[in-house]
C-alpha cells in the first residue's frame, strides 16, 4: 500500500476513535443534564417560596426596621442581620460561576465576557472589585489578569448538594459582614433550554426591597391590602432564620442553574464534535477510495503496457 494511502487510513482510524470518545462524553453529559434538571425543577419551587416570603417582608417594611447592629462575623458565626447592612460602595464583590474543565463550548467564555462588561460598568476596575470564583476557569482567568480573587472554590459536584453550598454562602456573607466588599453580585449562565443559555447578574447583598424585583413595594396587593405582619417572638428572630435561607437559596439556585447550563453546553459541544468527526471520516474515506482506485488503475495500465511491449 502506498505511503499516502496508509496516512489517510491512519487518519480515518484516529478520527473514528476521537468520534467514539466524544460520543461517549455526549451520552454522559446528557445523562447528567437529565439528573440535574430534576433537582433544579423541584428546588426552584422552594426558592420561589423563599423569595416570596422576603418580598412580603419587604412590603411590610420589616427589613427596614430590623436591628442591623454593628457586630461582625466572628469564629465562624455569621451576623445574619448584617446582610441588611447598607453602606457606601467602595468595593464591589462579584461571584463568578464557571466550570472546572473545558470541552463545554462557549459556556465559560460567555460568563467571563459578560462579567467583564459588568465590572467595566459604573467605574469598576481591578482596584475596587473583589472576585469570588466558583469554578477553576474563572479563578484562573481573573488571577492572570491581576484581579483580587479573595475566595475560590473548585470541584463543585456534577449534581451539587445543598450541604456543599452552605459553607460557600457562609464565607460570602462573612466577607461582606467584615467589609471586604460593600455590595455583591452573582454572575452565571441561566439555563433556558438545551440550545440556549443566557447570562444573569443578580444583586445578592445587601438584601433590600430594591433587590426583590418589584417596582413598588409600598403599594397594596391586588386586593387593595397592604402587607403587614405581627411577629412572634420578634422580627429580628424571624429574620435570623429567613435571611440565611434566602442567601443560601440564591447561591445554591445559581450554582444548580449554572451546572445545568454547563452540562447542556457540554452535551451540545460533544454532539457537534461527533458530527464533525463523522463528516471528516466520510471525506477521508472518499479520498481513500479515490486514491485506491487511482492506484489500481495505474497498476492495470502498467501491466497492460508491459504485456503489449512483450508482444
Residues 6+ apart with CB under 8 A from 13: none
CA–CA distances in Å: residue 85 to residues 59, 75, 176, 178, 182: 18, 20, 9, 11, 9
Same domain, 154 and 196: yes
Round to whole Å and give the CA distance between 268 and 97: 20
Contact 177/73 with Cβ under 8 angstroms? yes
Same domain, 119 and 232: yes
Same domain, 51 and 129: yes
Read off φ and ψ for residue 185, nearest 5 degrees: -115, 145
Contact 184/176 with Cβ under 8 angstroms? yes
Contact 206/54 with Cβ under 8 angstroms? no
* Dihedral of alpha carbons 294, 296, 302, 307, sign: negative
* Alpha-helical regions (H) of the chain: 3-59, 107-120, 136-144, 162-177, 235-310
Find the CATH number of the domain harbouring 15: 1.10.287
Q: Buried b / exposed e across 85-109, counting CB within 10 Å, b at 16+?
A: beeeeebbbbbbbbbbeeebbebbe
Is 94 inside any structural domain? yes
Find the CATH number of the domain harbouring 77: 3.40.1380.10
Interval 64-113: pLDDT, tens: 555 555 445 554 455 566 677 788 888 899 999 999 888 888 889 999 99
Same domain, 17 and 31: no
| pTM listed for this prediction | 0.79
The pLDDT of residue 3: 59
Is 309 inside any structural domain? no
Is 66 inside any structural domain? yes
Contact 187/111 with Cβ under 8 angstroms? yes
Contact 79/67 with Cβ under 8 angstroms? no
The pLDDT of residue 134: 93
Is 256 inside any structural domain? yes
Same domain, 144 and 132: yes
Instruction: List the chain residues with pLDDT less than 70.
Output: 1-3, 58-82, 209-232, 234-235, 311
Is 310 inside any structural domain? no
The pLDDT of residue 71: 47
Is 78 inside any structural domain? yes
Say how many domains are in the chain. Answer: 2
Nearest by Cα to 270 from 27, 3, 1: 27
Cα 227 versus chain centre, distance: 35
- Give the residues across from 196 on adjacent strands: 193
The pLDDT of residue 139: 92
The pLDDT of residue 70: 46
Q: Which DSSP symbol is given to 190?
A: E
Same domain, 129 and 251: yes
Same domain, 15 and 99: no
Is 213 inside any structural domain? yes
Is 222 inside any structural domain? no
CA–CA distances in Å: residue 204 to residues 46, 66, 154, 211, 223: 17, 18, 21, 7, 30
The pLDDT of residue 248: 81
Round to whole Å and give the CA distance between 179 and 173: 10
Same domain, 143 and 258: yes
Same domain, 75 and 86: yes
Same domain, 127 and 265: yes
Same domain, 292 and 200: no
- Give the residues across from 199 on adjacent strands: 189
Which residues constitute the domain of residue 281?
Answer: 3-22+272-304
Q: What single string gives the DSSP state of each residue in 2-65?
A: -HHHHHHHHHHHHHHHHHHHHHHHHHHHHHHHHHHHHHHHHHHHHHHHHHHHHHHHHHTTTTTT
Same domain, 182 and 277: no
Amino acid at each position: 500500500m502506498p505511503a499516502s494511502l496508509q496516512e489517510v487510513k491512519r487518519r480515518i482510524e484516529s478520527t473514528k476513535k476521537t468520534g467514539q470518545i466524544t460520543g461517549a462524553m455526549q451520552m454522559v453529559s446528557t445523562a447528567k443534564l437529565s439528573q440535574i434538571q430534576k433537582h433544579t425543577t423541584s428546588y426552584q419551587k422552594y426558592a420561589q417560596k423563599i423569595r416570596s416570603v422576603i418580598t412580603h417582608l419587604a412590603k411590610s417594611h420589616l427589613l427596614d426596621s430590623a436591628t442591623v447592629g454593628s457586630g461582625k462575623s466572628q469564629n465562624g458565626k455569621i451576623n445574619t442581620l448584617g446582610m441588611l447592612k447598607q453602606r457606601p460602595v467602595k468595593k464591589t464583590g462579584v461571584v463568578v460561576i464557571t466550570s472546572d474543565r473545558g470541552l463545554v463550548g462557549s459556556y465559560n467564555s460567555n460568563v467571563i465576557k459578560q462579567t467583564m462588561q459588568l465590572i467595566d460598568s459604573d467605574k469598576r476596575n481591578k482596584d475596587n472589585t473583589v472576585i469570588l470564583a466558583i469554578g477553576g476557569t474563572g479563578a484562573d482567568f481573573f488571577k492572570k489578569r491581576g484581579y483580587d480573587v479573595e475566595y475560590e472554590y473548585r470541584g463543585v459536584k456534577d449534581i451539587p448538594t445543598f450541604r456543599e453550598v452552605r459553607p460557600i454562602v457562609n464565607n460570602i456573607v462573612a466577607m461582606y459582614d467584615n467589609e471586604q466588599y460593600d455590595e455583591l453580585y452573582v454572575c452565571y449562565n441561566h439555563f433556558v433550554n438545551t440550545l440556549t443559555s443566557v447570562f444573569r447578574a443578580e444583586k445578592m447583598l445587601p438584601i433590600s426591597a430594591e433587590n426583590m424585583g418589584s417596582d413598588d413595594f409600598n403599594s397594596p396587593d391586588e386586593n387593595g391590602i397592604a402587607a403587614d405582619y405581627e411577629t412572634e417572638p420578634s422580627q429580628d428572630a424571624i429574620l435570623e432564620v429567613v435571611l440565611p435561607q434566602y442567601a443560601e437559596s440564591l447561591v445554591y439556585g445559581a450554582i444548580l442553574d449554572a451546572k445545568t447550563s454547563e452540562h447542556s453546553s457540554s452535551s451540545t459541544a460533544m454532539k457537534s464534535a461527533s458530527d464533525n468527526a463523522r463528516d471528516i471520516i466520510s471525506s477521508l474515506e472518499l479520498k481513500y477510495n479515490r486514491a485506491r482506485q487511482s492506484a489500481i488503475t495505474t497498476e492495470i495500465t502498467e501491466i497492460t503496457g508491459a504485456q503489449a511491449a512483450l508482444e
